[in-house]
């Protein structure tokens, strides 16, 4: 039998980390023996476990160690991290280490070094005694990249003892029966708490916010200073501007619900108006655009990224049509975000979820529970899902924020 010793520290029982590791070992064909086990006897005290992991084949043992490492296990033997050079721009060395979105450390020169900007599905680049994540496509020839699994320590979010309410990690099951008003009050309290500490709030928005009439409340939220970064696509901006200019969204009068005469042209007229002026910012400066979400973003100097797609009409001048450039801009804005609100957009929500660390509080609001489930299944397990119409959510949230 091939064998290695691993250890775990922290709230490994409350967070269900220890039983998950047991499951991984057994499901992958290995065996384990508990060598040491100490349970924290007070709320603030962590627990500790040392396990001997065994498998008949070395490759099976290595696969097991790779999986339990993602859950926070480390080898008792503190090995140095392995580094290999990049030989071609945009191509990682063979056997590169693929990152999680959890806090990560590497052991270099007998010291544990924090890996900056945790993000899933990246590689770790080491320069001197500093390390950071980097997408494969941005690698440059000569950079040193972490390979293998030695010398890596991961700290997944834990469920501390005590009740943290709806933001308690891994307590966010998706259900349409959750008490909406209670959750919305909790989200509002968390937003205000973050802003009191000069933290930052990001929002990811789809066009349904305009269709439901909730964009009025989102604009007010921006005006009140509760939005520090905005992410969306061409559609949310076009529909918001269409309403500001013509009072419709895709030709439908939001106030009456009736189709306006020649209203089907309005979204193209909105795009054409902005393209004629040159930009959304110039349309605000020239007083053509006088209200709405995009207006408030420009007036309040809130940075935004509108990421384009192949189905876009126009698009608007500020829409970033190169997806790699859009991803880079999104990544820059997300670096110091403390909480993200994702509202009625599956694709943009998943995209942003893939770019943020697991310790960023994430709230996903959608009428379709599968959107929240897909987001969590793709690695954003810290997500608080609220299954409701965004047209009901935003008015209640803004009311709570104004209290």
What pLDDT is attached to residue 178?
Answer: 56
pLDDT digits (tens, 9 = 90+) for 200-232: 999 999 999 998 889 999 999 999 999 999 999
Rounded-to-integer distance, Cα 204 and Cα 197, Å: 22
Query: How high does pLDDT run on average in the chain?
Result: 89
Rg (CA), the chain: 24
Phi, psi of 25 (to 5 degrees): -60, -50
DSSP character at residue 126: E
Handedness of CA 130, 135, 141, 145 (dihedral sign): positive
Strands 229-232, 304-306: pairing is: parallel
Please work out, in degrees rounded to the nearest 5, the angle formed at the alpha carbon of residue 202 by the alpha carbons of 356 and 233.
Answer: 90
Rounded distance between C-alpha atoms, residue 121 and residue 331, angstroms: 13
**Fold that domain 78-162 belongs to in CATH:** 2.40.420
For the entire predicted model, the pTM comes to 0.84
Specify the domain boundaries for CATH 3.40.50.10690 within the chain.
166-402
- Count of beta carbons in the 10 Å neighbourhood of residue 11: 21
pLDDT tens, position by position, 247-303: 887 767 666 666 666 667 888 999 999 999 999 999 999 999 999 999 999 999 999
Helix (H, G, I), strand (E, B) or coil at 187: helix
Nearest Cα neighbor of 202 from 106, 277, 122, 305 is 305
User: What CATH number has the domain spanning 1-77?
Assistant: 3.30.70.2690
Q: Note the CATH architecture for domain 166-402.
A: 3-Layer(aba) Sandwich (3.40)
């Amino acid at each position: 039998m091939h064998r290695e010793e691993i250890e775990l520290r922290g709230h490994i029982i409350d967070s269900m980390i220890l039983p998950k590791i047991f499951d991984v070992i057994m499901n992958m064909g290995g065996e384990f023996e508990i060598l040491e086990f100490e349970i924290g006897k007070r709320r603030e005290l962590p627990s500790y476990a040392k396990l001997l992991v065994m498998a008949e084949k070395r490759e099976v043992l290595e696969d097991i160690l790779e999986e339990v490492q993602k859950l926070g296990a480390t080898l008792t033997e503190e090995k140095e991290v392995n580094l290999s050079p990049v030989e071609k721009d945009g191509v990682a060395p063979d056997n590169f280490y693929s990152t999680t979105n959890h806090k990560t450390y590497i052991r270099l020169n007998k010291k544990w070094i924090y890996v900056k900007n945790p993000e899933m599905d990246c590689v770790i680049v080491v320069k001197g005694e500093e390390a950071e994540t980097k997408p494969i496509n941005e690698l440059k020839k000569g950079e040193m990249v972490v390979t293998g699994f030695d010398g890596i320590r991961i700290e997944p979010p834990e469920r501390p003892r005590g009740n943290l309410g709806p933001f308690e990690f891994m307590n966010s099951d998706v259900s349409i029966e959750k008490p909406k008003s209670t959750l919305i009050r909790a989200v509002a309290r968390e937003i205000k708490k973050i802003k009191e500490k000069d933290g930052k709030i990001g929002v990811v928005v789809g066009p349904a916010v305009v269709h439901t009439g909730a964009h009025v409340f989102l604009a007010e939220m921006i005006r009140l200073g509760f939005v520090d970064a905005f992410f969306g696509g061409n559609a949310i901006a076009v529909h918001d501007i269409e309403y500001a200019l013509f009072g419709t969204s895709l030709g439908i009068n939001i106030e009456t619900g009736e189709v306006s005469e020649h209203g089907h042209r309005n979204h193209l007229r909105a795009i054409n108006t902005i393209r004629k002026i040159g930009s959304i910012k110039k349309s605000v400066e020239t007083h053509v655009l006088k209200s709405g979400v995009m207006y408030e973003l420009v007036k309040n100097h809130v940075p935004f990224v509108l990421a384009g797609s192949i189905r876009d009409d126009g698009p608007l001048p500020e829409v970033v049509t190169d997806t790699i450039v859009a991803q880079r801009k999104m990544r820059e804005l997300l670096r110091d975000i403390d909480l993200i609100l994702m509202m009625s957009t599956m694709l943009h929500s998943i995209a942003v979820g893939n770019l943020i660390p697991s310790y960023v509080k994430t709230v996903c609001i959608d009428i379709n529970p599968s959107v929240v489930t897909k987001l969590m299944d793709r690695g954003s397990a810290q997500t608080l899902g609220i299954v409701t119409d965004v047209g009901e959510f935003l008015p209640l949230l803004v009311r709570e924020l104004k209290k």
